[in-house]
C-alpha cells in the first residue's frame, strides 16, 4: 500500500498549475474504467464537486477511459452531479440497484427489494424507533416528521411525503414478488446510529444487504445489490475486464467496489476498514483526492502507470 505524501497546497502536488492535463501527459496503461463514489469521495464536505475533480473526469475521458459515478443516492438525488459526466459514462445509483448510461437513455439494471423484505424492514423500523426513508419510483417517502427527515430530504435535494408503515400507499408489487422500492434508508444521530447498526444487523433478513454509508446513515437493499456488482455490470456492458477498472471510495458501502476493481484507491478521509482494502491511499475529498490520485497514478512523470 502506498500513502501519498501531503503538501501544503492541499492537493498532494507541488503546484496545481504544473500538473499536466494533455492526453500525452497521461498513461492509463491497461485501465479503461474509473468508478468513483460520490459523498466523501467525489464531493467535498460542502456537497459540491471541486473543480479539480471535474478536471479528473475530463482527463479520463480525453484518454479514452470511461468514468462512472457510483452512489447510494437516487437518480433524482444525484441531479446536477450527473452533469460532470457530460452525458458520457455511467451512473451506478442506489448502491447498484439501478444502473444506467449517463445520458439516462439506457438502463443496464434495476433490482429493487422483494416486497416481503420491505415489510420486514418497515417492522424493524417501528421496533427500533428509526426514521425510515423509502425511495420508490424515484420519489421519497418518510415515516417520521422530524429534523432528521428534513435534513435528509434537503441533502437529497427533493421534497418528500409522509407515510405510515401500516399503510404504505405507494407500495407496488410485481408477479415475481419484487416491490417498486429501490432502497430503504435509516437516518439518525451518529451516536445512536452506531447502536442501531450493531443491534439490527442480526435481525435483517438474509435476502437484504444492510450496511452503513456515513455518520448516521444505514441502508437496506436487495442482497444481490452492491457497488461491486454494479461495477461488474458496467464492465460486462462495455466489455471491459474488471481487472482493468479503478475504484475510489471512502465508506463501508464502497468496499465491494474496491474488491471488484483491479486497482482500489481509498480516500485519505476513508474509514480504516476501507483503507485496509486499498492498493493506494490518496488525499482527502477536501484535498481533491480523486484528482491527485489520477495524476500520481497515471501522470507519465508523476507515479506508477498501469501495466
Range 115-222 has CATH code 1.10.132.20: no
The three grid cell numbers given for residue 7, joined into one nine-digit string: 503538501
What pLDDT score does 10 carry?
A: 47
pLDDT in tens, 257-294: 999 999 999 999 999 999 999 999 999 999 999 999 99
Task: Kindly state which CATH superfamily the domain 2-111+226-298 is placed in.
Answer: HAD superfamily/HAD-like (3.40.50.1000)
Q: Which residues contact 53 (CB under 8 A, 6 or more apart)?
A: 42, 84, 288, 290, 291
pLDDT in tens, 69-100: 999 999 989 988 999 999 999 999 999 999 99
Cα 287 to Cα 293: distance, rounded to the nearest angstrom: 11
Cα 293 to Cα 118: distance, rounded to the nearest angstrom: 39
User: Nearest Cα to 263, choosing from 19, 36, 23, 22?
Assistant: 36
- Name the E strands within the chain: 2-3, 33-37, 66-70, 90-93, 98-101, 107-110, 131-136, 139-142, 161-162, 181-187, 208-214, 217-222, 245-249, 263-266, 280-281
181-187 and 131-136 beta bridge pairing: antiparallel
- Spacing of C-alpha 125 from chain mean position: 24
* Cβ(91)–Cβ(72) below 8 Å: no
Cα 140 to Cα 184: distance, rounded to the nearest angstrom: 10
Residue tagged 442501531 (cell numbers): 196
Q: Where are the domains of the chain?
A: 2-111+226-298, 115-222
Q: How far from 33 is each of 63, 232, 294, CA to CA, in Å?
A: 11, 11, 12
pLDDT in tens, the chain (307 residues): 544 433 334 444 444 444 455 556 899 999 999 999 999 999 999 999 999 999 999 999 999 999 999 999 999 899 889 999 999 999 999 999 999 999 999 999 999 999 999 999 999 999 999 999 999 999 999 999 999 999 999 988 889 999 999 999 999 998 799 999 999 999 999 999 999 999 999 999 999 999 887 778 899 999 999 999 999 999 999 999 999 999 999 998 999 999 999 999 999 999 999 999 999 999 999 999 999 999 999 997 654 443 3
Amino acid at each position: 500500500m502506498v500513502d501519498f505524501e501531503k503538501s501544503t497546497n492541499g492537493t498532494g502536488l507541488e503546484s496545481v498549475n504544473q500538473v499536466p492535463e494533455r492526453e500525452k501527459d497521461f498513461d492509463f496503461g491497461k485501465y479503461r474504467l474509473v468508478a468513483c463514489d460520490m459523498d466523501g469521495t467525489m464531493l467535498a464536505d460542502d456537497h459540491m464537486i471541486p473543480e479539480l475533480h471535474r478536471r479528473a473526469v475530463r482527463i479520463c475521458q480525453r484518454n479514452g477511459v470511461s468514468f462512472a459515478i457510483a452512489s447510494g443516492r437516487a437518480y433524482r438525488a444525484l441531479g446536477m452531479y450527473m452533469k460532470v459526466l457530460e452525458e458520457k459514462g455511467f451512473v451506478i445509483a442506489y448502491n447498484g440497484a439501478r444502473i444506467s448510461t449517463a445520458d439516462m437513455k439506457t438502463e443496464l439494471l434495476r433490482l429493487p427489494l422483494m416486497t416481503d423484505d420491505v415489510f420486514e424492514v418497515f417492522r424493524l423500523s417501528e421496533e427500533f424507533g428509526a426514521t425510515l426513508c423509502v425511495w420508490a419510483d424515484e420519489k421519497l417517502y418518510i415515516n417520521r416528521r422530524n429534523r432528521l427527515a428534513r435534513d435528509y430530504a434537503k441533502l437529497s435535494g427533493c421534497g418528500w411525503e409522509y407515510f405510515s408503515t401500516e399503510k404504505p400507499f405507494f407500495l407496488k408489487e410485481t408477479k415475481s414478488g419484487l416491490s417498486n422500492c429501490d432502497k430503504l434508508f435509516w437516518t439518525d444521530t451518529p451516536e445512536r446510529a452506531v447502536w442501531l447498526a450493531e443491534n439490527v444487523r442480526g435481525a435483517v433478513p438474509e435476502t437484504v444487504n444492510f450496511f452503513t454509508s456515513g455518520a448516521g446513515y444505514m441502508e437496506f437493499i436487495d442482497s444481490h445489490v452492491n457497488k461491486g456488482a454494479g461495477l461488474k455490470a458496467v464492465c460486462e456492458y462495455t466489455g471491459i475486464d474488471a481487472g482493468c477498472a479503478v475504484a475510489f471510495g471512502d465508506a463501508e458501502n464502497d468496499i465491494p467496489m474496491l474488491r471488484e476493481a483491479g486497482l482500489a484507491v481509498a480516500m485519505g478521509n476513508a474509514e480504516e476498514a476501507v483503507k485496509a482494502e486499498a492498493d493506494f491511499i490518496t488525499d482527502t475529498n477536501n484535498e481533491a483526492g480523486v484528482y491527485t490520485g489520477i495524476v500520481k497514478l497515471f501522470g507519465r512523470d508523476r507515479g506508477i502507470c498501469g501495466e
